[in-house]
Amino acid sequence: MVVVVKRGAVMFVAAIATIGAAPIASAKDYGQQGAVFRISEPDLLRTIEQKLRTLEASGGIERMNAELTRKTEAGVRRPRPVAGISLAVRDRSWIFDPAMRVEQDILDHKGNVIARAGQRVNPLDFVTVRQKLVFIDGDDKDQMSWALRRFDDQSAKLIMVKGAPLDAMTLHQRRFYFDQGGFLVGRFGIRAVPAVVEPNGKTMKVSEIPLGVGRK
The band of 5, judged by pLDDT with boundaries at 50, 70 and 90, is very low
CA distance 90 to 113: 45
197 plus 175 within the same structural domain: yes
Is 164 part of any domain?
yes
Mean pLDDT of the chain: 79
pTM for the full model? 0.64
91 plus 165 within the same structural domain: yes
Is 109 part of any domain?
no
188 plus 93 within the same structural domain: yes
131 plus 198 within the same structural domain: yes
Is 114 part of any domain?
no
The band of 1, judged by pLDDT with boundaries at 50, 70 and 90, is very low
Contact 120, 100 (CB under 8 A): yes
What is the SS3 assignment for 75-121? HHHCCCCCCCCEECCCCEEEEECCCEECCCCEECCCCCEEECCCCEE
Q: Is 199 exposed, middle or buried (0-12, 13-18, 19+ CB in 10 A)?
A: middle
The band of 85, judged by pLDDT with boundaries at 50, 70 and 90, is very high
Is 192 part of any domain?
yes
119-154: per-residue pLDDT in tens? 998 989 888 899 999 999 999 999 999 999 999 999
CA distance 81 to 79: 6
**HSE of 19, CA atoms in CB hemisphere, 13 A:** 7
Is 53 part of any domain?
yes
64 plus 137 within the same structural domain: no
**Domain coverage including residue 60:** 44-77
Percent of the chain as helix, strand, coil, to the nearest 5: 30, 25, 45
- Residue 88's nearest CA partner among 10, 192, 2, 3 is 192
150 plus 93 within the same structural domain: yes
Domain count, the chain: 2
Is 67 part of any domain?
yes
Q: In DSSP terms, which residues pair with 170 in a beta bridge?
A: none
Is 36 part of any domain?
no
Residues 6+ apart with CB under 8 A from 87: 137, 140, 192, 193, 210
Is 116 part of any domain?
no
- Residue 92's nearest CA partner among 205, 169, 213 is 205
- What percent of the chain lies above the pLDDT cut of 70? 72
Mean pLDDT of 155-179: 95
**Helix/strand/coil for 4:** strand
66 plus 94 within the same structural domain: no
